[in-house]
Every structure is written in structure tokens, then in C-alpha cells.
Amino acid sequence: MTRFRPRAIWLLLPAAVAALWIAQQFSWATRFPKAWELPVAKTVSKSAAVVTDNLSWLTRLFATAIEVPMTLVVALLSEGGALTLGGFALDLPPLSWSGLALAVVWTGWRTGGPGLALLQALGCAYLLFFGQWSAAMLTLASVVIAVPFALGAGVVLGIVAWRMPRLDRWLVTPVLDLMQTVPAFAYLVPTLVLFGFGPVSALIATVIFALPPMARVTTLALSRLPGAITDLAAMMGCTRGQALWRVLLPAAMPMLLVGLNQTVMMTLNMVIIASMIGAGGLGFDVLLALRQLDIGRGLEAGAAIVVLAIMLDRQGRVLASGWSRGQAMSRRRGLGLVLVLGALLGTTLLGQIHAPLRAFPESWQVTTGSTMDSLVAWLNVNFFDTIEAVRVFLLMNLMNPIRIALASAPWLGVMTIVAMLGWVLGGWRLAVLGLGVGGFCLVTGLWDETMTTIYLCLTAAILSVSLGVPLGIAGHRWPRFGKLLTLAVELLQTMPSFVYLIPVVMLLRVGDVSAMIAIVAFAVTPVIRYTMAAFEAVPPALTEAGTVMGCTSGQMLRHVQLPVALPTILLGINQCFLFSLAMVVITALVGTRDLGQKVYIALTKADVGSGLVAGLCLGLVGILVDRLFRAAAARIAPQEPNSHA
Amino acid sequence: MSKTTAPVQRRTKLSCREIWKLYGPNADRPAASRDEVESRAANGRCFAALSDVSLDIGEGEIFVVMGLSGSGKSTLLRCLAQLVEPTFGNVELDGRSLTRMGQAELREVRRHDMGMVFQHFGLLPHLTVAGNVALPLKIRGEKAESRDHAVATALELTGLAAMADRLPAQLSGGQQQRVGLARALAVGPGLLFLDEPFSALDPLIRRELQDELIRLQAGLHKTMVFVTHDFSEAVRVGDRVAIMKDGRLRQVGTPEDIVRQPADDYVRNFVAGVDLTRVIRCATAARPASRSDYAHAVSGQGRLSDAAETLMAAGGGPIAVQGEDGSLIGEIDLHAVLAAVSGKSLAGEPA
């Protein structure tokens, strides 16, 4: 393969100039003519209506099948309630807060020692004292229900993809790519239409959203197993089933558990978003608070999401690493388990008589809502000018120029440049992909919204890179700062994307700048992480060689570290772009006018066609950006020396 | 007559005939005839990892396949074990063709008559030492009692009895490979495949395990196919050694045959790097006895290095070389040793 095509660049320039010149001569080349658009959205809506009409028995059956375990878990964790099974009605009380909290803290103690137990205890205390317990348990119930479905389906899909590499390459991987880049919102629309407004469709959307990473991890974990393990399975005379269940999956378990943890976190993230179609719980509280601009309540519920996320994440990680160290088989926990279950049952039953055991007494609860409101009011009164100055500065000097440039760019010119870029970086396939994606946005009449989306992502990416790369380099150079930075990044990544909006909106009001800052807060994390990782991965032999040559630290950075780290950093920027795309949709809540807004509007109108088409546009743009970045990273990466086995 | 040049006649355990393995476009398609595979290998689009390899491996023999990386030694092992299907050729175990066997039958053969040891151990991290060793027995559906017994025996044999409940991560590399060996032995197979079993270990541990393997083999008499890239390891543990290059066999013979009569310059290069006194046996270096009574004697099966001390005690010889039954084979002295290691054959030459 040729390393570079310098001549292609000389072709690119005149072609772009020619395209721009043509575009200025003819109006059809500047703005895509309305008459050329295709009624894609309407067709999708119509066929969806046909499907819905004919398959309602199936969806209803499906919904009923899911509803039974769902009601049970919701009843136990949160609300209590009557469960009817074959005419036999069972009145279930909710498990008491005291018993549940005890069980959570005990599990933390058993698996992660006093540190984890303390963390879990603090988490429970926050949820209880700030009156978030019930909502948090409702959210947890959704997670508990969704995770097994996502896990099971993900593992099965992953195994199938691993068994049939060709199917994986041509069908599974592209579909998973699309599923991961199509924003979560877009899933909500069809499920809403098929299953109606309510917890069941929220659950289904959640499962669809959380499934791809598990499938990916499964395929990856199985194909990364050392050759000796697969050979071992064959040489022991395993049947296919034995090989899979007794050798391969157990050997892949550490990685699978990491995937499971990721699935749990994605589920939580999606449960929050799915509150828009009736999942209830913490997400709904935040949404309500955002709509009413009730900052105090929003912050408390948002913080509760973060607390819940951290509790789940830490517990999950400890379990995952415990397995690989073989501690999962500890024997002494039998008695403790019985005691804790007894306490759980006992407090629940006692709660029927003694109310404070059942529901956390309201007189014990505190709220910082009014304090928060006055704090925000104080900030706005005293710092309004400063904040406003920053806002206007960003808007005038960075955002507006990019927005205007992109919005007024003639489509023909943009298409030419995208195609050329694809060709130079990755050959004709990438060029065709670029043309296809652009074409889709054009004929569906979503060109302007796409450009707005790209403008938001581009600005966010520019800000994130100029912020994240120096931070990452600093974190590498000063390890203590690096540790803090890692902690901050981990915290930012555990937070469901929703939560980012709250503080931003309360200080900067609704608008593009708020959206931008929320996006940057979300999308800067991969840049920092990848930069740090890239610098860590520079072989010590190279830096030592640099030191021996007498490099100053600036020269070392310029001539040794950056060139070696660049491909990885580029992948970080790629991730940053994809994160931005995912976040753009959420920022539709604060009134941007991009593809996310289209999806959001479609959601409120239950318009399957435009919701799906706008979601697909976002997904396709994401895939194109991803492929372009990957091609660029592969191009500048030094060739690995060939090793022959 | 000495045992070294004409190895013990053994029943053939494992044999392969005209094995070819091609990689490249359409390489998965087996070839119907020898002409076809030769023309496909010659057309330049395929890469022949193995070309026309035929071998007979005797029962109870440690057969070492030695070659540098890319020589095809691992591919040969994989073809013999049917982990890789040869493009052409036949592999027979106890006279039954493995290549033509159905999946179910092959599975049964593997469950009962084959074991394999891997370079990077291939232990399952979540199972204890005993759990790892028990796994192949569980796979073949062995009952708990006989399984426990077999596991205990295998652990005892490899000196791991005290570590049965540890996890692989708590063991050193050498101990992990002992577990690998115990697991391979647990099913009581007649045939063991060892794929560079000691290459990942540091030199001292490697030596220790080589000795351990030789010691075990003295009691077990398994047939072993042992792959290595280390020539001194090959001549140390092997009853016979096959040297490979570019997918072909360059020489097959006992270690002594190879060091004394290298087939070509390629083999000679390897020989130049080994300590010949640890390869050549006393019986080989001996010349006809010049008297009937000696003050000192050594075993003909011993290596020259083993005789060094006795030779020194006898003031440089000559000392008697005895057969296994104590009969007199001949005599050696310092001159005979020097002649043997300098590559000159003394057999039949008078002193």
C-alpha cells in the first residue's frame, strides 16, 4: 500500500475551487432545490403505520411479557403494589430502605473492603436525606430489568458475530456502528409508536441502546483469547458447546465483566433519557426541573443520578476485578448473606407496623433547593456582566463565524471537498461513503440542520482539543496532577450526559453557548484520556534516546513525543467528535436548531419518519467522521515492523 | 554395534505421509492429488508452510522438531494434532487416519489419547491448579471419584500436590508450566504434543523442567512430539530430532547422528553452538578395548561430560565403557574424547 498520495492534494485544490465557482454561478448548486428532495420521512412513517397496525398483537404480547417482571421489580424496590398472577393477587410491600441500604453497604464491604462500604453508605445517605430514595429506586428498577436483557442479547449477538466473521464484517459491525452513533433519542420514537407511552417502551429503547457495547466486547474478548486457549479447547476434545461455555467464555470473563459494567452505565444513562417517554424516576425529576427552571431541585436530582452512577460503577468494577483475581469464589459469605437477607425481610415486615422503617421519615430529610436558588440568583446578579461578556465573546469570535461559514457554504462545494478528503485519506470507498452520507442529508431535506449540527460539533471539538490536549500533556508531565485529572475525567464520564445541562443552563440561559459548554464538558474527556494514554505509550527507549541527544523538554515534545503520540491523539479527537454528536441531541433540550431538535420534535409528535430520518442523518455523519479520522490516523501511524511467526 | 547409531526399533505410534500445508488464496480447499498441491505451491500465489513432510514417530519416543521461527515447525505440530487441516497428506495415529476421521471420532481420540502443552501455558485464570488439571477429565465426562484420583496422581507426578488450591496467577512461570504438563498427563494420553513448552521460561527453570521431563519420561514412556527453536534443548531432551527449514525437513536423526554428521551447512551452524560433550555418548566415542581389566568404568549410555570426573580420577584413562548389562563395550581416554568432540570418528580406528 502506498504511504501517501501527494498528487491527490494537487487534484483536490482545483476541484474544490471549481466546485465553489460553479456553486456561485448557479443557484441550484448553492441551495439544494426543494424539488429534488425525496419524501423519505413520509414513506417511513407510512410503512411504520402499516407495521404498527398489523403487528399490534405481537407488540402487545411482547409488552405483556416484559411487564410482569418489571412490575415485580418496581414493586419490590420502589412503590410496592399488587401483583396478579393467574387470578391470584399478591399485595407486595416495597422492601424497606433500611434493609436495602444495609444490603448495599454489606455487599460493598464483602467485595471491596471498608473503602467501598463507606462510599456506598455515603451514597445511600445522600439519596435518603435528600429525599431521592424512591426516585432512585425506580431508576434502579429500570436498570435491574434492562441489564439482563441487554446482557443476554449482547452476548448472543457477540458470539454469533465471532462464529461467523463474514456476517460480522458485512452485517453486524456496520449495524452496531450505526446503533452506537444514532442518538439514543432516535430509538425512542419507533418504540414509542410501537409500544406506546410508558415504562415498557422506555425499557425496550434502553435495551436497544445498551446492547451494542456488550456485543462488541463479547466478540472482541473471544477473538482476543490467546491461541493456546482455543487450541486447548480443541485438544481436550470439547464439543462446540463445551468449548464455549467451559473454556472460552470463562477465559474471556474479565473482559466480559468490564463490558457488563459498561452496559450497566449505558443503561443508567439511557434510563435517564428514556424518562421522556415515561420511565419515571430520577431522569423525570431532572427533566421536570429543567422545564420549570427549578435549579435547586434539578441539581439535587442530577446529583442523585451521579451518586447512583458512582455507586453502581464502583461496585461493578470491584466485582469485575475480583473475578479475575479469583475472589469471586470466597466461601465465608454464607452466614453474612443469610443475616442480611433476614434483616431485609425483617425490616420490611416490621415496616408494615412501624412506618419509619418502611419509608424514610420526611422530617429527617433536608433540601438545599432554596439555598441553591438564592446562590444562582446571587451569581446571576453579581457576575452577570462577566458571564455575559464570556458568552458574547464566544458567540461573536468563535461560534458565529463558523456557523455562518457552514450555513452559507454551497452544498456542491461541501460535497466535493468531503469526497476529495475521503479519497485522499482512504481511497474511493471512503469517497463514495462521503458522497452517500451527504446525499442522504440532501435528499431528506435536512442539509441545513446537518450543517448546524456540524457547526456545533466542530466548535465543540476545537474547544475540547485546545483544552484537552494541553491538559493531557500536563497530566502526563506532572503525575500528581495527572491523578487528579484522571479522577475528574472518570467522574465526568460516569455522569449521564443529561446532568451536564443543569449548571450551564442556570448560568448562561438557554441558547447555543450553553449547549456548546455542555458539549465541551462531555466531549473533552476522551481528548484528555487519549492524550495521556498516548504519552504514556511512548516507549521509554525513545525518550531516553532524546535525552541522550540533549533535547530540551520542548524539543522532546516537538520531535519525539508528539509525533509518536499523534495517531492515538487523533483517535481521541475522533472520539471527541462522536461524543459531541451524541451530546448535541441532548442539547436540543436547551433550544439548539440542529438535527437533535428535529428528533426531539418528532418525539413529541410521535412522528416516526422524521425522527428516524434525522437520527439516521446523525448516525451517518458520525460514521463518516469516524472513518475519516481512522483513515487519517492509519495514514500517519508508522508502519509496524513485520513480525513473522 | 552401538545403540546410538541404530535406535531401538519401536512400534510406530504417529506417522505422517507427504504433508503439505498451503496458505494464501483458496488455501483452505484441500488438494485432491500430489500434482495439484505441487502446482498450487509452485504458482507463486500460495505460501507453502509445509512441503512434503513425511515422518514416523515411534511409541515411547521423544521426537523433537527443531527450527527457527517461520520454519514450519509449529504448523507441522498443528497438522499432526489436526488443529490445522493439511492441504494434502495423511496423518495416522496407531494406524488410524486422523485426517479422514469425522469430528466426533477425532473428539473421542483427543479426549482419551492426546494431551498438549502450550508455550504460554494456556491455563484458565479463574480455575485453581486442581480445577485446571481436572478440566479435560470433566470435559470427557469422567466421574468425580476417578477424576479426583487422576488429578491427585497427575499433581503428585509433577510435584504440585501442595499447590492444588492456588490460582495460576499465584504461581511462577515454571510452576504454571508444571500445571500445563499435569493437565496434559491427567487424561492418561499415549501421545503428548509440546509446543515450545519451555521457551517462555528463564534459562535455569528451563533446565530444571527439561530434567523433569526426562525423569518423567523414564517412568511414563509416552510418545511426545516436542517443538522447539533451541538446538541445545532439542539434542538434550530428544530421542530423535528433526531439523526444519522453509517448511521442509533438512535432517532427521538421533542427536548424535546430527552433531557428528550434519546433513548440510545449515545444520552445521546449529551444531557449532552446542557443547558436544553433553550430546555424544561414551559408547560412541569408545574404541575397542585394549585389555580385559580396568580400574574405572562408565556407562556407555552416559554422555562424555558424565565421564569427565571418572576420567580425571583415572589420570586421563583409559577407562572401561560398559553396556547396560555390565558387559565391556570398549574403552575411552582423553584422546578419544578430544577426537570425538573435534568431529573425528574413532570407531574402528586402532589406538
Query: What pLDDT shows up at residue B179?
Result: 93
Residues of A in contact with B136 (CB under 8 A): 236-237
CA distance A329 to chain B (A): 9
- A240 lies within 8 A of chain B by CB: no
Name the packing angle between helices A249-274 and A199-223 (round to 10°): 150
* Phi, psi for A191 (deg, rounded to 5): -65, -35
Residues of A in contact with B108 (CB under 8 A): 237
Query: What pLDDT shows up at residue A81?
Result: 63
Q: Which of B110, B112, B124 lies closest to A247 in CB terms?
A: B124
Mutate to test the interface with B, among A166, A229, A230, A236 (most CBs of B within 10 A): A236
Q: Please state, in angstroms and rounded to a whole number, the distance separating the CA atoms of residues B150 and B134.
A: 8
Quick one: closest CA in A to B107, which residue?
Answer: A237
Cβ-proximal residues to B229 (8 Å cutoff; 6+ apart), any chain: B66, B67, B68, B69, B73, B196, B199
Kindly determine whether residue A228 and residue B118, on different chains, have CB atoms separated by under 8 Å.
yes
Three-class secondary structure of residue B245 per DSSP: strand
Tracing cell 425499557 back to the chain, one arrives at A203
Q: Which of B83, B111, B125 lies closest to A237 in CB terms?
A: B111
What residues does B92 pair with on adjacent strands?
A: B15, B97
Three-class secondary structure of residue A169 per DSSP: helix
Query: What pLDDT shows up at residue A71?
Result: 77
Q: What pLDDT digit, counting tens, does each position of A439-475 carry?
A: 888 888 888 888 888 888 888 999 999 999 999 999 9
Mutate to test the interface with B, among A235, A238, A246 (most CBs of B within 10 A): A235
Residues of A in contact with B200 (CB under 8 A): none
Residues of B in contact with A242 (CB under 8 A): 139
Tracing cell 464566544 back to the chain, one arrives at A394
Kindly determine whether residue B122 and residue A644, on different chains, have CB atoms separated by under 8 Å.
no
Mutate to test the interface with A, among B71, B78, B109, B127 (most CBs of A within 10 A): B127
Mutate to test the interface with A, among B76, B126, B177 (most CBs of A within 10 A): B126
Cβ-proximal residues to A225 (8 Å cutoff; 6+ apart), any chain: A248, A251, A252
What residues does B328 pair with on adjacent strands?
A: B322
Banded pLDDT at B240 (limits 50, 70, 90): very high
Q: What pLDDT digit, counting tens, does each position of B195-238 carry?
A: 999 988 888 999 999 999 999 998 888 999 999 999 989 988 99
Q: What angle do CA A184, A168, A428 make, to 5 degrees?
A: 85
Q: Which of A228, A324, A325 lies closest to B122 in CB terms?
A: A228
Kindly determine whether residue A237 and residue B81, on different chains, have CB atoms separated by under 8 Å.
no
Higher pLDDT, A70 or B122: B122
Query: What pLDDT shows up at residue A428?
Result: 85
Q: Does A84 score more than 70 pLDDT?
A: no
A577 neighbors A461 (Cβ within 8 angstroms): yes
Q: Please state, in angstroms and rounded to a whole number, the distance separating the CA atoms of residues B85 and B88.
A: 9
Banded pLDDT at B181 (limits 50, 70, 90): very high
* Phi, psi for B262 (deg, rounded to 5): -60, 135
- A249 lies within 8 A of chain B by CB: no
Angstrom CA distances, B6 to A192, B286, B305, stand at: 83, 16, 22
Tell if the pTM clears 0.90, that is, is over it: no
- A319 lies within 8 A of chain B by CB: no
Query: What pLDDT shows up at residue B183?
Result: 92
- Provide the grid cell at A545: 534516546
Kindly determine whether residue A236 and residue B118, on different chains, have CB atoms separated by under 8 Å.
no
Mutate to test the interface with A, among B114, B135, B163 (most CBs of A within 10 A): B135
CA distance A228 to chain B (A): 5
Q: Please state, in angstroms and rounded to a whole number, the distance separating the CA atoms of residues A615 and A638.
A: 36
Kindly determine whether residue A228 and residue B126, on different chains, have CB atoms separated by under 8 Å.
no
Q: Please state, in angstroms and rounded to a whole number, the distance separating the CA atoms of residues A98 and A351.
A: 10
Residue A206: what residue type? Answer: T
Selection from A443, A598, A469 nearest residue A525 by Cα: A469
Residues of A in contact with B138 (CB under 8 A): 246
pLDDT average, residue stretch B67-72:
88
Structural element, H or E, at residue B183: helix B173-186
Q: What pLDDT digit, counting tens, does each position of A405-425 carry?
A: 887 777 877 888 888 888 888
What residues does B53 pair with on adjacent strands?
A: B19
Residues of A in contact with B83 (CB under 8 A): 231, 234-235
Q: Does A498 score more than 80 pLDDT?
A: no
Quick one: closest CA in A to B68, which residue?
Answer: A645
Banded pLDDT at A10 (limits 50, 70, 90): low
Q: Which of A238, A253, A644 lies closest to B70 in CB terms?
A: A644
Residue A148: what residue type? Answer: P
Q: Which of B110, B121, B126 lies closest to A236 in CB terms?
A: B110
Residues of B in contact with A238 (CB under 8 A): 107, 139
Selection from A303, A245, A382 nearest residue A127 by Cα: A303
Tracing cell 435528499 back to the chain, one arrives at A443
Q: What angle do CA A362, A367, A372 make, to 5 degrees?
A: 165
Q: Does B18 score more than 60 pLDDT?
A: yes
Tracing cell 465541551 back to the chain, one arrives at A520
Helices (H), chain B: 34-42, 73-80, 103-113, 129-139, 144-157, 173-186, 203-220, 231-237, 255-260, 265-271, 282-285, 304-313, 334-341
- Provide the grid cell at B154: 497427575
Residue length of chain B: 351
- Provide the grid cell at A621: 455523519
A586 neighbors A537 (Cβ within 8 angstroms): no
Q: Please state, in angstroms and rounded to a whole number, the distance separating the CA atoms of residues A129 and A360.
A: 8
Kindly determine whether residue B81 and residue A246, on different chains, have CB atoms separated by under 8 Å.
no
Q: What pLDDT digit, counting tens, does each position of A379-402 carry?
A: 777 877 888 888 888 888 888 888
- Give the single-character DSSP code of B30: P
Q: Which of B122, B126, B128 lies closest to A226 in CB terms?
A: B122
Residues of A in contact with B111 (CB under 8 A): 236-237
Q: Please state, in angstroms and rounded to a whole number, the distance separating the CA atoms of residues B118 and B132.
A: 14
- Provide the grid cell at A105: 453497604
ipTM over cut 0.85: no
Query: What pLDDT shows up at residue A155?
Result: 92
Residues of A in contact with B115 (CB under 8 A): 235
Q: Please state, in angstroms and rounded to a whole number, the distance separating the CA atoms of residues A36 and A442.
A: 9
Please report, for chain A, the start and end positions of each structural domain, with discontinuous segments joined by +: 383-409+447-639
What average pLDDT does chain A have?
Answer: 79
- B186 lies within 8 A of chain A by CB: no
Q: What pLDDT digit, counting tens, does each position of B92-121 carry?
A: 999 899 888 888 899 889 989 999 999 888
Strands B96-97 and B88-93, how do they pair?
antiparallel
% of chain A beyond a pLDDT of 90: 5
Query: What pLDDT shows up at residue A1?
Result: 40
Residues of A in contact with B130 (CB under 8 A): none
Three-class secondary structure of residue B347 per DSSP: coil
* Phi, psi for A239 (deg, rounded to 5): -75, 170
What residues does B298 pair with on adjacent strands?
A: B321
Banded pLDDT at A92 (limits 50, 70, 90): low
- B116 lies within 8 A of chain A by CB: yes
Tracing cell 584413562 back to the chain, one arrives at B317
Maximal CA-CA distance, chain B: 69
- Provide the grid cell at A409: 457554504
Half-sphere exposure of B273 (CA within 13 A, CB side): 10
Kindly determine whether residue B138 and residue A246, on different chains, have CB atoms separated by under 8 Å.
yes
List all residues of chain B from 261 to 300 with a beta carbon under 8 Å from chain A: none
- A234 lies within 8 A of chain B by CB: yes
- B165 lies within 8 A of chain A by CB: no
Q: What pLDDT digit, counting tens, does each position of A549-585 carry?
A: 878 888 888 888 888 888 888 888 888 888 888 888 7
pLDDT average, residue stretch A511-525:
85
Q: Please state, in angstroms and rounded to a whole number, the distance separating the CA atoms of residues B63 and A218.
A: 39
Banded pLDDT at A83 (limits 50, 70, 90): low
Kindly determine whether residue A239 and residue B107, on different chains, have CB atoms separated by under 8 Å.
yes
Kindly determine whether residue B81 and residue A229, on different chains, have CB atoms separated by under 8 Å.
no
Quick one: closest CA in A to B183, which residue?
Answer: A236
Query: What pLDDT shows up at residue B349?
Result: 45
Query: What pLDDT shows up at residue A333?
Result: 56
Angstrom CA distances, B313 to A141, A590, B283, B334, stand at: 85, 97, 19, 12
Query: What pLDDT shows up at residue A205?
Result: 83
The DSSP-derived string for A540-571 is: HHHHHHHHHHT--HHHIIIIIIHHHHHHHHHH
Quick one: closest CA in B to A229, which residue?
Answer: B122
- Provide the grid cell at A550: 540533549
Banded pLDDT at B347 (limits 50, 70, 90): very low
Q: What pLDDT digit, counting tens, does each position of A336-379 carry?
A: 777 777 777 777 777 666 666 666 777 777 776 677 777 777 87
- A236 lies within 8 A of chain B by CB: yes
Query: What pLDDT shows up at residue A87?
Result: 59
Query: What pLDDT shows up at residue A502?
Result: 74
Tracing cell 483469547 back to the chain, one arrives at A225
Q: Which of B112, B167, B193 lies closest to A326 in CB terms?
A: B167
- A65 lies within 8 A of chain B by CB: no
What residues does B47 pair with on adjacent strands?
A: B23
Kindly determine whether residue B125 and residue A326, on different chains, have CB atoms separated by under 8 Å.
yes
Q: Which of B118, B126, B167 lies closest to A250 in CB terms?
A: B126
Number of H helices, E strands in chain B: 13, 13
**Which homologous superfamily is A383-409+447-639 in?**
MetI-like (1.10.3720.10)
Residue length of chain A: 645
Q: Please state, in angstroms and rounded to a whole number, the distance separating the CA atoms of residues A250 and B236.
A: 37
Residues of A in contact with B120 (CB under 8 A): 226, 228
Q: Please state, in angstroms and rounded to a whole number, the distance separating the CA atoms of residues B108 and A236.
A: 9
Quick one: closest CA in A to B191, which residue?
Answer: A235
Quick one: closest CA in B to A644, which residue?
Answer: B70
Kindly determine whether residue B120 and residue A251, on different chains, have CB atoms separated by under 8 Å.
no
* Phi, psi for B227 (deg, rounded to 5): -100, 135
